[in-house]
Amino acid sequence: MVGIVADGVVKVLLGAAFVIGATRLGDLLGVPAWLMIASGVALLIGGGIEIRYVRSRPMRTYTRLMIAYDSGWVLTALAGLLMAWRGSSAGGEVWMGYQTAAPIAFAALLVAATSIRTTSDARAKDSAH
């Protein structure tokens, strides 16, 4: 559970850094400030929801979502690096685009996941009959 909270806190801190330093970080990554802000807001939302649901969602759900999120992050970072190595200026946009879409998808899937309480309640009802 500590790892899940830490992951959410990292997303929140990264999101805050993206919003606060949008212009400067955007210049370094070659992306517009609006994309940095959108990504920062997405990370703030995703990280906040991740922390909020930590006690009400199964660990297995979190683990699967975190593996998918981190795998996508690695692949997108590699794609961005490859693009930059080949001289394209779009590598930063690809990476920041992922940082904008993935936290929202993660949060939506987490909210839609079956809660621990609902599963426990269903089992209790089944055993009563």
Q: Which whole number is the average pLDDT over 54-68?
A: 88
- Does position 56 have pLDDT exceeding 70, yes or no? yes
Q: CB count, 10 Å around CB of 33?
A: 16
Q: Please report, rounded to a whole number, the percentage of residues in the chain having pLDDT higher than 70.
A: 90
Distance (Å, whole) CA 10 – CA 77: 17
Structure pTM?
0.81
Q: What is the band of 115 on the pLDDT scale with cuts at 50, 70, 90?
A: confident
pLDDT at 124 over 60: no
SS3 of 57-92: CCHHHHHHHHHHHHHHHHHHHHHHHHHHHCCCCCHH
Asked if residue 58 lies in contact with residue 117, where contact means CB atoms within 8 angstroms, the answer is: no
pLDDT band at 116 (very low <50, low <70, confident <90, very high): confident
| Confidence band for 118, pLDDT divided at 50, 70 and 90 | low
- Mean pLDDT for the chain? 87
Q: What CA–CA distance (Å, rounded) separates 12 from 35?
A: 16
Task: For 81, list phi and psi in degrees, rounded to 5.
Answer: -65, -40
66 has pLDDT over 80:
yes
Q: Encode pLDDT of 74-83 as tens digits.
A: 999 999 899 9
